[in-house]
Structure 1
Amino acid sequence: MATSDKVDETTFCEALFDPESSTPVGLVGPDGETAPKRFSVYRNNVVVSLCDALGDTFPAVKNLLGDEYFGALARAFVTRHPPKSPVLLHYGADFAGFVESFPPLEAYPYLADVARLEWAWLQAYHATDQVPLDPSRLSSVDAQSVGAVRFRRHPAAQVVTSRWPVWDLVRANRFDPSADIQIDLQLAQSVLLTRPELSVDMLLLRPGADIFVCALFDGAMLAESAEAAQKAFENFSLSDCLSDCLSTGAFADLDVA
């Protein structure tokens, strides 16, 4: 395709993601005539490429829905949410919200959180490299000051909290499909994602740990974070949860007030 005159960029983008839209004025073929067939092929190739990118980012959602349904869902998303960046690894940030509000999927409310966990995995994978906090640093803090410690979140560290068994669903449909994983939809699960080195690690959090870790990530002191978790979960274990965070590289540094 070529242009006989300058094609308006906004008009072109709108037509590209609207299958009912006509070929933009000024877009012509080698013969100098308007080229609707060529534009339709180009439009379809763009949409298919974006759908494929979504499938690569959300393979667990794709597996749960099946190729055909996921393809239709992805196409519906692409036409409503065209890319805002030329970098495809940034594409799909709104997908979980779209899934959550998509009426035909109301009977599968856990799918949105599956998408959120997969998106968090991608963000952790591409996060800035940084050496995690050495756990021995905490032992060097004066005992009377430990409660006032504030931890700095590692760039790759994230928490996904769900009322659904999101950890089991993603394992069964992406990371460990051959395992005999029993899915209990009454089970709420929260996951900590870290990347201390080259690969992303995902840890199923203990009861109350999501409240604890999120508070720390938001800048609360250690004592404040533990208190918030303890109020919500009587059996919250500070030592176990803090050990999980330190051993998985959830923190980049610490400060003492």
Structure 2
Amino acid sequence: MQPAFAAALLDAEHAVPPGLLAADPAERFAVYRNNVVSGLGRALANGFPAVEAIVGAEFFAAMAAIFVRVSPPASPVLLDYGAALPDFLNSFAPAAELPYLADVAQLELAYTRAFHAADAQPLPADTLGRLTADRIGALRVNLHPSLQILRAAYPAATIWAMNTGRLPLAEITDWSAQDILVLRPQYGVDVVILAPGEAAFLTALQAGSTLGEAAAAALDAAAIFDLGPALAALFMRGAVTACHDSQEDP
């Protein structure tokens, strides 16, 4: 009965599940179905406020009703519900004129995940000054568990900031791609537009590369990458929780 109930709950074309105890099972079930779909839609709106602001509440509610039916929750915990929304938006024809929408949704997912990530104490920013130059290249670092890197094809961080009140609404003149860092070193989530090469640098560090190896990867991605400022920014942002020699266990 459970599969039939779940299928009917999200699709009005399905017959009402048998065995329901109510004076008018079809009417009662329709009310329940509407409440479930609208409730999940509100959960999506709470998780994607910038997307809703861009398309408008009415459009978002209609889109959410379709998304809920094709991608119902896989868990009773709604914290990560909407993980499939960026891919959905990429193929959602009514939003075709807003090709950046999926990038903004991906950023909002990263923001939520960073907010709820495990806590970890960043190393003090002056730690970098105590490292000797001949040692730095062989070091590996542990990055904060909230840290996420996005490679957006559009200026998603700027669009997101304008549609969440962090920046005033204005015409965007530079539609270049943005590499974005999302991080919660303490209590608030930071969204940072990365300099050229920094995304490759951080991605390599996340994969376990030494600082020297990560710097080489960053230079391959962007010849103007500068290890000094990138390292300083890494510590100043509270992104590093530990560092150790490459020969040591993490």
Whether TM exceeds 0.5 here: the answer is: yes
Which sits farther off after the overlay, 240-249 or 36-45? 240-249
Partner of residue 235, structure 1 = 224
Contact 1:148-1:256 within 8 A present in 2 as well: yes
CA 134–203 in structure 1, closer or farther in 2 if over 3 Å, else same: same
**CA–CA separation in structure 2 for the residues paired with 1:215 and 1:205:** 15
Map 1:117-156 onto structure 2 (within 5 A).
117-156=107-146
User: Which consecutive residues of structure 2, in runs of 5 or more, have no partner in the other structure?
Assistant: none
Contact 1:212-1:225 within 8 A present in 2 as well: yes
SS where residue 89 of structure 1 aligns?
coil
SS where residue 192 of structure 2 aligns?
strand
* Aligned residue identity for 1:198: Y
Partner of residue 221, structure 1 = 210
Cα deviation, 1:142-180, whole Å, max 9, x if unaligned, reads 432211111112111111111210111000011425x15
CA 24–185 in structure 1, closer or farther in 2 if over 3 Å, else same: farther
Partner of residue 10, structure 2 = 17
* Aligned residue identity for 1:12: F
Partner of residue 107, structure 1 = 97
* Aligned residue identity for 2:7: E
* Aligned residue identity for 1:27: L
* 1:58 lines up with 2:48 in the alignment: yes
Partner of residue 106, structure 2 = 116
Deviation at 1:256, TM superposition (A): 1.1
**CA–CA separation in structure 2 for the residues paired with 1:254 and 1:175:** 36
CA 66–205 in structure 1, closer or farther in 2 if over 3 Å, else same: same
Contact 1:164-1:185 within 8 A present in 2 as well: no
Contact 1:54-1:92 within 8 A present in 2 as well: yes
CA 255–167 in structure 1, closer or farther in 2 if over 3 Å, else same: same
Contact 2:163-2:169 within 8 A present in 1 as well: no
Deviation at 1:238, TM superposition (A): 1.4
* 1:90 lines up with 2:83 in the alignment: no
Deviation at 1:55, TM superposition (A): 0.5
**CA–CA separation in structure 2 for the residues paired with 1:182 and 1:239:** 34
Equivalent residue for 1:249, pick from 235, 238, 241: 238
**CA–CA separation in structure 1 for the residues paired with 2:14 and 2:170:** 46
Partner of residue 194, structure 1 = 183
**CA–CA separation in structure 1 for the residues paired with 2:199 and 2:63:** 31
Equivalent residue for 1:209, pick from 163, 176, 198: 198
CA 148–181 in structure 1, closer or farther in 2 if over 3 Å, else same: farther
**CA–CA separation in structure 2 for the residues paired with 1:254 and 1:106:** 45
TM-score, reference length from structure 1: 0.90
* Aligned residue identity for 1:26: G
**Percentage of matched positions with identical amino acids:** 39
* 1:169 lines up with 2:159 in the alignment: yes
**CA–CA separation in structure 2 for the residues paired with 1:175 and 1:215:** 33
**CA–CA separation in structure 1 for the residues paired with 2:174 and 2:87:** 20
* Aligned residue identity for 2:141: F
**CA–CA separation in structure 2 for the residues paired with 1:65 and 1:12:** 32
**CA–CA separation in structure 1 for the residues paired with 2:196 and 2:92:** 31
Cα deviation, 1:51-85, whole Å, max 9, x if unaligned, reads 00101111111111111111111111100111111
